[in-house]
Structure 1
Amino acid sequence: MDFTNQTVLVTGSSRGIGLAVAHAFDNAGARVILHGRSAIKDEVINSFKQKPMTLQFDVADAETVEATFKDLYKQEGFEGIDILVNNAGITKDQLVMGMSPADFAQVVNTNLNGTFNVTQPVFKKMIRQKHGVILNMASVVGQMGNVGQANYAASKAGIIGLTKSLAKEGAKRNIRVNAIAPGMIISDMTDALSDKAREAILNEIPLSRFGSIDDVADVALFLAGNDYMTGQTITVDGGLYI
């Protein structure tokens, strides 16, 4: 797929899935905007073919997000965002019996409210542009739930609902909105699993393996390039949620 002359913003793109998605779009010719809650490291910036723009803010801070995008769209020569990938998110796992209201709220505020905070100013501009693509990173946990992740599951289920609503609102202006729901993807979290825990999870996955960050990035490119898909949630989980 060729995304030359298109500008792609990927939130939470300093590492992991977000960075893999950003690299995939860079390799496909797009102009990439990286984002992190802290400054993006030089080695990350230098890993791109085209030097990316960088943004730094907390997606959960609505006022800062609004001010950041107000300034961004005022920059001379900035033509707008063609593709937005809402990937920024956090976890604070705990059984419901021991989960504090603050931990529940923080995860929802970052994952769900943060997705809304970033989407709203970009969506408004896309309405005026009469084109755009938004990809929201959900999770298989938002579809099936998970022990110890009530806050995370609630936030990701909310993202799926937000995706469907945005898709209906944006369709007449040629704005497509889809979600990606990764399952168990190789990461620091999976690396920390005990052999027993790893085996138990793998036994639940029909393909009997964890996915890679590139598996998710490939789906992001597909959804960004397919002009007749909107309002969908594509699950990338090796068959876990069948």
Structure 2
Amino acid sequence: MERKLEGQTIVVVGASSGVGRAVVEVAAAGGAKVVMLSRSADKLAAAAEGIESVTYRHPVDMRNAKDVEAALSAYDCIDHLVLTAVADENARAKPIIELDGEDLERSFDKLRGYFTVIKATASRLLSTGSVTMMCGAAALRPPATGFSLLAAEGAAIPGMARALARELSPVRVNVIMAGVVDTPIHDNDREAIASWAETSLPTRRFGQPSDIADAIIFAMGNPYFTGATLTIDGGLSIT
């Protein structure tokens, strides 16, 4: 790992598992000061095990503005913000006739959380820094049924990122649009998803958190990359 991130402060939201945990591991190995945010204190503690570099952990719900502000109050200068947290998207994967108002309301949770954290960090971000948001590839290629809200949520995040890339300039703002990745969201169907990926995706493999983390590290480190959406989906969007 190149030491481009050495000495930099990186805030990772959704740091306790999956892609967020993978980003923490790579960034810490690169010498960064990593601030880990997630809802569960126990999961954060477990995620920090085995990471040699010093990390800072704050259990917080990204939708709670007061708690987010309190968690970040100790960090006057932030180099990079990484937003990987999910909001139980699969619970809303159902046909529109089965969706209700509460499903619609919950579909905004990720956007709400991202908004809340970006607002809290905007004045702390260094001009050479970046914001990297993660969203799902359902916006590009939703399955036949059941993904209307997930597709809408996925499409909203790149739109916000493009606007913020201009508003927060020279801070860079980008999106990593991920395909099907082996994270805890698939705990109940991991074997079936893996089998599908290995036979149906052009890459013939189930995406791993490290695949997406590599793209996030690139987005943080490339000073000429902003206002963009980078799709890392194993070829899902072309099938």
> TM tier, shorter chain?
0.7 to 0.9
Partners of 1:11 and 1:207 lie apart in 2 by 28
Partners of 2:56 and 2:195 lie apart in 1 by 41
Structure 2 matches for 1:43-122, cutoff 5 A? 43-69=46-72, 72=73, 75=74, 78-90=75-87, 91=89, 92-93=91-92, 94-108=94-108, 110-122=109-121
Q: Which residue of 2 aligns with 1:137?
A: 134
Q: Which residue of 2 aligns with 1:154?
A: 152
Q: How many residues align?
A: 231
Q: Which residue of 1 aligns with 2:164?
A: 166
- The alpha carbon displacement at 1:190 in A equals 4.3
- The alpha carbon displacement at 1:199 in A equals 4.7
State the percentage of identical aligned residues. Answer: 29
Partners of 2:107 and 2:21 lie apart in 1 by 21
Residue 53 of structure 1 aligns to a residue whose secondary structure is strand
2:53 counterpart letter in structure 1: Q
Partners of 1:198 and 1:38 lie apart in 2 by 27
- The alpha carbon displacement at 1:62 in A equals 3.0
Residue 85 of structure 1 aligns to a residue whose secondary structure is strand
Unaligned runs of 5+ in 2: none
Could you tell me whether the CA contact under 8 Å between 1:112 and 1:156 is conserved in 2?
no
Change (3 A) 1:57 1:228: same
- The alpha carbon displacement at 1:195 in A equals 6.5
- The alpha carbon displacement at 1:37 in A equals 1.0
2:96 counterpart letter in structure 1: V
TM-score w.r.t. the length of structure 2 is: 0.87
> 1:175-220 CA deviation, whole Å, 9 max, x = no partner?
1111101101123454543866655555541112111111111111
Could you tell me whether the CA contact under 8 Å between 1:45 and 1:51 is conserved in 2?
no
Partners of 1:143 and 1:17 lie apart in 2 by 20
- The alpha carbon displacement at 1:227 in A equals 0.8
- The alpha carbon displacement at 1:164 in A equals 0.7
Task: State which of 181, 184, 199 in structure 2 corresponds to 1:185.
Answer: 181
- The alpha carbon displacement at 1:142 in A equals 2.4
